[in-house]
């Protein structure tokens, strides 16, 4: 099983989302609310166990619920000529294309940035579990910086792939295959 296959199984937005859900997630409101509130809400829910005791589980469930429904809360954007929409379209392309279909200059950096974000989030998780503010802040900043840089690379990929291949890959409803 490849890393992409594992990633698809772990995150339903990657494997289970249809073209309409991806289009809705490309709405700038969806992109920016997820960036601005998703991880902070999860972090706050973890820290809230100090303040609200066992009710922190409800706060965690609410944060997970928000992250889960966020791509479905907006309509498809009227225009995709914005950074948020392009980052979402580029990410969908990158996840659906085989390694050979990805231009060589886009093959390594996104993987490094995903690994950097995962490492940052691991430090963040340690900080939340241990209730240590510095690892929490460092992990959050590292994870978010890598994620935003990754999304910016996805904008670049989307621009490089604009054209017939891009249109087929964006609208294809087949989650496992590449552009058709």
Q: Are 77 and 28 in contact (CB under 8 A)?
A: yes
| 54 assigned to some structural domain | yes
Number of domains observed in the structure of the chain:
1
**Six-digit token string for 171:** 């609208």
Residue with tokens 């890598």: 146
Rounded CA separation 180/169 (Å): 6
Q: How many residues comprise the chain?
A: 180
Q: Are 19 and 11 in contact (CB under 8 A)?
A: no
| 176 assigned to some structural domain | no
Q: Residue-wise pLDDT tens for the chain (180 aa)?
A: 666 565 555 555 555 567 888 888 999 999 999 999 999 999 999 999 999 999 999 999 999 999 999 988 899 999 999 999 999 999 999 888 888 888 888 889 999 999 999 999 999 999 999 999 999 999 999 999 999 999 999 999 999 988 645 445 554 533 444 333
Q: What is the pTM of this model?
A: 0.80
| 178 assigned to some structural domain | no
Enclosing domain of residue 103: 3-171
Contacting residues for 50 by C-beta, under 8 A, at least 6 apart: 131
**Six-digit token string for 31:** 């992109």
| 108 assigned to some structural domain | yes
């Amino acid at each position: 099983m490849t890393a992409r296959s594992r990633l698809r199984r772990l995150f339903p937005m990657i494997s289970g989302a249809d073209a309409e859900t991806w289009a809705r997630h490309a709405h700038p409101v969806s992109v920016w609310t997820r960036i601005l509130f998703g991880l902070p809400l999860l972090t706050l829910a973890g820290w809230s166990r100090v303040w609200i005791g066992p009710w922190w589980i409800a706060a965690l469930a609410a944060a997970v619920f928000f992250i889960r429904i966020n791509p479905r809360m907006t309509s498809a954007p009227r225009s995709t000529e914005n950074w948020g929409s392009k980052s979402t379209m580029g990410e969908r392309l990158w996840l659906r294309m085989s390694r050979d279909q990805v231009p060589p200059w886009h093959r390594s950096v996104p993987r490094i940035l995903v690994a950097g974000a995962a490492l940052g989030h691991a430090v963040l998780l340690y900080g939340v579990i241990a209730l240590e503010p510095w690892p929490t802040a460092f992990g959050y900043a590292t994870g978010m910086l890598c994620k935003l840089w990754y999304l910016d690379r996805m904008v670049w990929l989307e621009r490089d792939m604009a054209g017939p291949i891009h249109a087929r890959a964006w609208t294809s409803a087949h989650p496992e295959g590449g552009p058709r």
